[in-house]
Amino acid sequence: MGLGVWLHLTERHEHEHSHEPLAHAHPHEHDEHHQHAHDAAWDGAEPHLHWHKHEVLTHKHPHYPDTHHRH
């Protein structure tokens, strides 16, 4: 049983996945998911909040199975 717990906690893998287009507002920083220009004046403070659009994003990152990565 200990080996099973160890395997579950140490499992890491990655695969490519896509995020659908989305427009919404939430606090964010300019990272790989939030690359956009600002239409209004912005003082450069991070994180910041405003409406923005996410275009289709296809990428991969290491993860383990959780509520966002079910497979």
pLDDT of 38: 75
pLDDT of 43: 80
Q: Find tokens 């099973």 and name the residue.
A: 4
Instruction: Check: CB of residue 30 under 8 Å from CB of residue 46.
Output: yes
pLDDT in tens, the chain (71 residues): 988 788 777 777 777 888 888 888 888 888 777 777 777 777 878 888 888 788 888 888 776 665 555 55
Rounded (10°) CA dihedral 37, 53, 27, 19: -120
